Amino acid sequence: MKKNQKGSAILAILIVLILAIAAAIGAGWYAYRFYSAAPENIDMPEINFSAGPELLDENPPNENEGDGETIPEAEEPVASPEPFVEYETGQDSSPIVSATNQFAFELYGEYKNTDDNLFFSPHSISSALQMTYEGARGKTAEEMQSVFHFPEDNAARIGSFAKLYEQINPQNASYRLSTANALWAQKDYPFDQNYLKTVETYYHGKAANLDFAGNPENSRQTINQWVSGKTMQKIPELFAAGTINPLTRLVLTNAVYFKGKWATPFEEILTQEKDFNASTGAKTKCQMMNIKDNFGYAQTADYQALELPYEDNDLSMIVVLPENGKIEATEKELAAAGLGNVKKSLKNELVNVFLPKFKFDTSYNMNQTLAKMGMPAAFDDANADFSGMYDKTKTPENLYIGLVIHKAYIDVYEEGTEAAAATGVAMQTTAVMEPPQAKIFNANRPFIFAIVHNQTGAILFMGKVNDPTK
């Protein structure tokens, strides 16, 4: 985890998976890597994209613009030999929301025992891994389904995700919230056409061919440009030099960006230097924001909860402040009941809020964590089964996950919050009355927070502030 950085208010998250052939390549901690024990000098057939993958824009992005992509020339798509399975997408998004939110608290539990700040995007992680799950089979698929709690009914799972994608990508002038997926495929690798089309159709994963084998550096720069654009340059380099190599076969990326103003902004003039009791027991000085207004508020024996809505009330930040010495009890309660019960308990109250400004970034190598949570097969070169991604009759290679990395950056300030996230999956082979007494919400000690999409209840981002000065 890195220390706070200066700059605009931003949250950024990256995960990467890489498909390739051979042993692990050094300096690859930025990516998911899939490997296989395959013979050298394999004559790879030409890639067959399914009918209709939308190719990414060939024009490189302007450094001042956020949505540009650049790709090399792509191969001509050809029809899939197998019938494409179509699913109903106009259904309820709650199955995938429930699954992702449950995974969010379980992942939080794996990382909570730290004095560092904690921050990640369960939505970004789940999106990238669900695209990967589409190609998993057998025990590998069973384990991934269990860890991420994906609905067993494929129609419900895919349709639910497609609906959620639609819901969290609104056209709204008061804030910006968008997600984007992309699939980068080795141009001469025999990927399954229906797998590619499923990702493109239901995950809006726009497909493009790259030449990882012949020009890995250009491929790396192309993907980095796309990620940088989708995160408004907050993540300028997802893949470090050397992490994309000639053995890479497939990279799946997800990017999430959010920028919104508080419905009721904090007044900068009221921000003062105050003490914060860090998780280490040390007292640190932080910039404490202050506002007194009506907010959703609840209090139990273990914690206080506060809802800070963003403009239009489509999204909110939920802050859970454990009472002194009650953080473990609070974490257990939240893990068991989730945020849904917290939100239901909120009542409109006059609250005098003290909340520190905070800005920090995080980085996680997730291989061991995900394996410990119940999906070791995906990382096992001998037992991983991602045969749904490619035509096994045309290559002896076996794909498995080599590395999962997740990065995040957030900055919360008086006016609002700006957030961006990116996930990559790279695979390699082998009244007139007396005013009421205001409630006091003084976040001068470690607290848990989440940015929630109110219409669906989806947890987009989640974290814990142990020390706002780090």
Q: Which helix (H) or strand (E) holds 442?
A: strand 439-442
Q: Is the pLDDT of residue 348 over 80?
A: yes
- Taking a C-beta distance cutoff of 8 angstroms, is the pair 207, 189 a contact? no
Q: Is 207 exposed, middle or buried (0-12, 13-18, 19+ CB in 10 A)?
A: buried
- pTM for the predicted model, two decimal places: 0.80
Tell me, letter by letter, the H, E, C secondary structure of 410-439: EEECCCEEEEEEEEEEEEECCCCCCCCCCE
Q: Is 375 exposed, middle or buried (0-12, 13-18, 19+ CB in 10 A)?
A: buried
- Taking a C-beta distance cutoff of 8 angstroms, is the pair 366, 404 a contact? yes
Q: Is 102 exposed, middle or buried (0-12, 13-18, 19+ CB in 10 A)?
A: middle
Q: Is the pLDDT of residue 138 over 90?
A: yes
Residue 439 sits at φ, ψ, to 5 deg, of -70, 150
- Taking a C-beta distance cutoff of 8 angstroms, is the pair 423, 124 a contact? yes
pLDDT in tens, 260-283: 899 999 999 999 999 999 999 999
Residue ranges of the domains in the chain? 14-80+88-261+360-428, 268-357+433-465
Q: For 227-250, what is the mean pLDDT?
A: 80
pLDDT in tens, 89-104: 667 899 999 999 999 9
Neighbours of 390 (CB within 10 A): 24
- CATH fold, domain 268-357+433-465, is Alpha-1-antitrypsin; domain 1 (2.30.39)
Residue of 393, 396, 395, 383 whose CA lies nearest to 136: 383
Residue 396 sits at φ, ψ, to 5 deg, of -85, 0
Query: Where do we find the tokens 């302007």?
Result: 62
pLDDT in tens, 408-464: 778 888 898 766 656 665 566 654 445 568 899 999 999 999 999 999 999 999 999
Neighbours of 202 (CB within 10 A): 21
Domains 14-80+88-261+360-428 and 268-357+433-465 share a fold: no
Q: Is the pLDDT of residue 67 over 50?
A: no
pLDDT band per the 50, 70, 90 thresholds, residue 61: very low
- DSSP designation for 31: S
**CA trace torsion 332, 334, 338, 342 (10° rounding):** 150
Residues comprising the chain, all counted? 470
Q: Give the side-chain half-sphere CA count within 13 A for 247.
A: 31
Query: Where do we find the tokens 């924001």?
Result: 289
Q: Is the pLDDT of residue 82 over 80?
A: no
Q: Is 7 exposed, middle or buried (0-12, 13-18, 19+ CB in 10 A)?
A: exposed
- SS3 assignment, position 109: helix
Class of domain 14-80+88-261+360-428: alpha beta
Q: Is the pLDDT of residue 202 over 80?
A: yes
pLDDT for the residue 38: 29
pLDDT for the residue 17: 56
